Structure 1
Amino acid sequence: MELKKYLQKVIYTVVPVLLFTLITTVANANDTTTVVSKESSFKGNLLIILFSIFIVVELIIIGYLIFSPSTSNEVDSVTGKPKRRRTLWERFNNLKSMEEESSIELEHDYDGIKELDNAAPPWFTIGFTLSIIFAFIYMYRYHVVHSAPLQIEEYTIAVKKAKEEKAALDKLKPPKVIDENNLVLLSPAEIAKGKEIFIKNCATCHANDGGGGAGPNLTDNYWMHGGSLKDIFISVKVGYPQKGMPGWGEILGLEQVEQVTSYIKTLKGTKPAIPKEQQGELYKEN
């Protein structure tokens, strides 16, 4: 009992002081300028260690207070001893003490094993009741009055909102103006982006190395619709649907079409693994 009273005093006096100290320390640390050094790192780690120790000690004290029994000032009329108070754990689960178990014993027993008629814990009853209430509210809101969107509707709304936000950002950053008549080979970084786009969207018909497949070989000097940067740009942008070549302008955007065009131009003279036979007419640079 004396230990329990002492621990209670510790909680009521020391714990608030420690909490206040930790809060003010963290607040002051956030207000000051952060300096990256071994000393500041050590202080930060020390604060975390002290805080962790404080939490562990506090949990031990709380656990002791929850599970340890206590006595009241009332005296049992039969034994003449102070009545035992139920622990917080026993109250939380509506448990009976060992001395009170005889009041909830069932009349039957099995080979000397007796059964207790324990009531359901209050937290379980409350949680079960709340789950039923929640289910009725959910059904009414989502499937009766339709005051909130279901998953598919919520997804559609989110996609629409994302498109609107993207359109707003696109207005703030106008698209790159590309002059088809004055195209130049882009930088290596842009060409690398074009390669990624090519492998993702074009390799199905032209192979990863441009050697061709369903589509023509892009590494030789023969082109079906011209081999200049402008010709390649228009071929990628508009496409030739009658020959199975889709237009990628609206799908990729002109900036990515330009990147792919520059990458395709760099494929000239490379040696693909399985080159397709020549198609189209010989193209010579002016």
Structure 2
Amino acid sequence: MTNDNDKKENEKNKKLLDHDFDGIKEYDNPTPFWFQILFYGTIIFAAIYLFYYHIYKNGHPLKDEYLASVGQNNSNSNNGSRDFNYAENIKNKEMIDQGKQAYDTNCASCHGLQGQGGVGPNLTDDYWIIDNTYVAVEKVIDVGVPEKGMPGWKTILGDKKIKALVVYIASIQGSNPPNPKKPEGKEGKLH
């Protein structure tokens, strides 16, 4: 059983640190055990997080989670364009309408309201600066052509809208709008 004298004796036996600041003296107390566990636990958590998300890349990056939450899946679950058949979807009215909406919102300012060209090339003729394939057009929309001023649209539009946009571009081929921009690139039908 402890009494007041024992408490006073324990206070005297505690070691004071050598420094003194404004008359305040500090005891040399050890860090509490619960705080040490919390501190080392955060270090272990950070190491696991680093390996899981950044080194082994098994986790879902925040960008992919965001795109999935707004309905624009950015994953390569369908192995890109190889599984998507553009030729079958060229007559798909719903997909063409989706592509037109994406075109009017994002592309018309540079390529013209009817695809006739402007700052960007004419999309209605049979001349292509890039390869005249659906996959090449999709890739240009995905990553853009920064040296010519075209940004990449993958993070903004997502895979579904880009595919719809390619279908729309294919649907306006040969439409001959008024005041088209002169042909650029090599001749060839989009296929």
Amino-acid identity (%): 33
CA RMSD of aligned residues (A): 2.6
Following the alignment from structure 1 to structure 2, what is the Cα–Cα distance between the partners of residues 258 and 207?
Answer: 20
Q: Which residue of 99, 109, 116 maps to 1:194?
A: 99
SS of match in other structure, 2:118: coil
Task: Rate the CA distance shift 1:168–1:204 in 2: closer, same or farther, 3 A.
Answer: closer
Which structure ranks higher in relative contact order (CA pairs < 8 Å, sequence separation ≥ 6)? 2
| Other-structure match for 1:218 | 123
Shift of 1:168: 8.1
After the TM superposition, list the runs of 4 or more consecutive aligned residues in structure 1 that deviate by more than 6 angstroms: none
Quick one: which amino acid aligns to residue 84 of structure 2? L
Read off the aligned partner of 2:156 and give its amino acid letter: I
Against the structure 1 CA distance between its residues 250 and 179, is the aligned structure 2 distance closer, same or farther, given a 3 Å change threshold? same
TM-score (norm 2): 0.57
2:68 to 161, 166, 170: 170
Counterpart residue identity of residue 68, structure 2: D
User: Counterpart amino acid of 1:238?
Assistant: V
Tell me what 2:149 maps to: 244
- For residues 173-212 of structure 1, the C-alpha deviation after alignment (integer angstroms, 9 at most, x for no partner) is 8937353234323321011111011011000000110000
Mapped pair 1:283 → 2:188: yes
Tell me how far apart the structure 2 counterparts of residues 251 and 169 of structure 1 sit (CA, whole Å): 9
Identify the match of residue 263 of structure 1 among 161, 165, 168: 168
Greater helix content = 1
- Which residue does 1:181 correspond to in 2? 82
CA distance, structure 1, for counterparts of residue 152 and residue 134 of structure 2:
16
Take 2:67 and 2:139, find their aligned partners in 1: how far apart are those partners?
27
**SS of alignment partner, residue 268 of structure 1:** coil
Give the 5 Å matches for 1:130-169.
167=65
Aligned pair count?
121
CA distance in 1, matches of 2:72, 2:111: 32
Q: Structure 1, residues 135-155: CA drift from partner, whole Å, max 9, x if none?
A: xxxxxxxxxxxxxxxxxxxxx
**TM-score by structure 1 length?**
0.39
Identify if the C-alpha distance between structure 1 residues 256 and 174 changes in structure 2 by more than 3 Å, giving closer, same or farther.
Answer: closer
Structure 2 residue runs without a partner (length 5+): 1-61
> For residue 108 of structure 2, what is the amino acid of its counterpart?
A
Distance in 1 (CA, whole Å) between partners of 2:149 and 2:173 is: 23
Change (3 A) 1:168 1:196: closer
**Residue segments in structure 1 that go unaligned for 5+ positions in a row:** 1-163
Offset at 1:169?
A: 9.6
**What amino acid is the match of 1:225?**
I
The 8 Å contact of residues 228 and 285 in structure 1, kept in 2 or not, is answered as yes
Task: State whether residues 220 and 269 of structure 1, in contact with CA within 8 Å, keep that contact through their aligned partners in structure 2.
Answer: yes
The answer to whether the Cα contact below 8 Å between 1:223 and 1:281 also exists between their aligned partners in 2 is yes
- Cα deviations across residues 64-109 of structure 1 (Å, max 9, x unaligned)? xxxxxxxxxxxxxxxxxxxxxxxxxxxxxxxxxxxxxxxxxxxxxx
Partner secondary structure for residue 278 of structure 1: coil
Q: Do the aligned partners of residues 267 and 243 (structure 1) sit closer, same or farther apart at CA in structure 2, a change above 3 Å counting?
A: same
